[in-house]
Amino acid sequence: MVGRRNPRQPRGMDTARLTVGFIGLGDQGLPMATAIAEAGFALHAWDRRPDSLRGLQRVPHDRHDSLQELAAACDVVGLCLSTDEDVLNLVSGGLLEALRPGSVVINHGTGLPADAVRLTEICAPAGAEVLDAPVSGGRPGAEERRLTTMVGGPRAVAERCEPAFSSFSRHVVHLGEAGAGQTAKLFNNALLMMNRANIIEIIELATELGVDPVRLADVLKLGSASSAALTLLDLLTPDIVEHLSSVEVLDMELFEAAMRESGVDGRSVTERGLAGAHGLPGLLRSLNP
């Protein structure tokens, strides 16, 4: 299940019989849930704020009035929430008690590997399986069905859920046991921000030399220096850059916490990544004079 994309209608599974619950219809969760429904899966949805469900009105889905009602109806429940705390509180606050044995809880958010293990331990007595399956690609990737989904947890469970993942992913990769998906996502984020720190330094040097930073960035995207950190700058706008910078700082704090919990010294990576995260607004100003 590495590096391949299934057609819109997943193979090897009767999608009409697999019920997929989805909670967290935000910037990335909504297009993911939409893709699941459009691929033919029976989609079920619940949200603390019913207005959030309006985004699903153009695709077939069942709305539920309670968390427990959704849980009882589904084989798989995907969560795309902001924090591990949100996930753990929701699972312990009604979701788990209503799940059928053999159901799968999937955390698509970015969090700590240790919390993925903890979630697995919480769900085990109820007979529920757990996957950590964070995604990379942002809202554009979700809308274009080209996310990369990094999966941690039992391989057999990951393979059972792969057709649903493939509805919104170009690549679905199983990394190992519980927490492995989160570890991969944290490294992915850290490397992106480290690469951005490199771009910031190059642009600053170019400006000192009198080189047009905008034209330089454009030509770097065409050469061997190109990277996702460079090309993603085209999607940034002044109205979102401060928010994105703050989110990336939090991602690096998660990375540092995960390294500490594992007994690994990741301080040099954290410092470099934070430089890239904090420097994002200034970089955008340099490229949009």
**What is the per-residue pLDDT across 152-164, written as a single tens digit (0 to 9) for each?**
999 999 999 999 9
Which of 13-22, 48-57, 66-75 has the highest average model confidence (pLDDT)? 66-75
CA atoms of 108 and 221, how far apart (whole Å): 30
Q: What integer pLDDT is reported at residue 11 of this predicted model?
A: 38
Looking at residue 99, the DSSP 8-state letter turns out to be P
Q: What is the mean pLDDT of the chain?
A: 93
Q: Per the structure block, which two tokens stand in for 127?
A: 């007979």
Count CB-CB contacts under 10 A for residue 280.
Answer: 23
Q: What integer pLDDT is reported at residue 9 of this predicted model?
A: 42
CA atoms of 281 and 110, how far apart (whole Å): 23
CA atoms of 16 and 40, how far apart (whole Å): 6
**What is the per-residue pLDDT across 92-144, written as a single tens digit (0 to 9) for each?**
999 999 999 999 999 999 999 999 999 999 999 999 999 999 999 999 999 99
Helix/strand/coil (H, E, C) string of 55-71? Answer: HHCCCCCEECCCHHHHH
**What is the per-residue pLDDT across 180-217, written as a single tens digit (0 to 9) for each?**
999 999 999 999 999 999 999 999 999 999 999 999 99
Looking at residue 49, the DSSP 8-state letter turns out to be S
Q: What integer pLDDT is reported at residue 184 of this predicted model?
A: 98
Q: Among residues 229, 224, 19, 217, which one has the least CA distance to residue 103?
A: 19
Q: Whole-model pTM above 0.95?
A: no
Q: What integer pLDDT is reported at residue 3 of this predicted model?
A: 38
Contact between residue 146 and residue 169 where contact means Cβ atoms under 8 Å apart: yes
Kindly state the average pLDDT of the residues 64-92: 96
Q: What integer pLDDT is reported at residue 48 of this predicted model?
A: 87
Q: Do strands 62-63 and 169-176 pair parallel, antiparallel, or not at all (unpaired)?
A: unpaired
Q: Among residues 34, 43, 39, which one has the least CA distance to residue 13?
A: 39
* Phi-psi label, residue 78: left if phi above 0, alpha if psi -120 to 50, beta otherwise: beta
**What is the per-residue pLDDT across 240-249, written as a single tens digit (0 to 9) for each?**
999 999 999 9
Give the C-alpha distances (Å, rounded to integers) separating 267 from 80, 115, 234, 256.
28, 21, 30, 7
Helical spans, DSSP H, in 108-222? 113-123, 138-143, 155-166, 180-208, 213-222
CA atoms of 56 and 23, how far apart (whole Å): 12
Q: What integer pLDDT is reported at residue 18 of this predicted model?
A: 84
Q: Domain ranges in the chain?
A: 15-177, 184-287
Residue 289 pLDDT > 80: no
Q: What integer pLDDT is reported at residue 10 of this predicted model?
A: 39
Residue 14 pLDDT > 80: no
Residue 2 pLDDT > 80: no
Q: What integer pLDDT is reported at residue 151 of this predicted model?
A: 98
**Domain 184-287 maps to which CATH number in 1.10.1200, 1.10.1040, 1.10.10, 3.40.50?**
1.10.1040
Q: Which fold has domain 15-177?
A: Rossmann fold (3.40.50)
Give the C-alpha distances (Å, rounded to integers) separating 203 from 189, 211, 222, 253, 286.
21, 9, 16, 26, 8
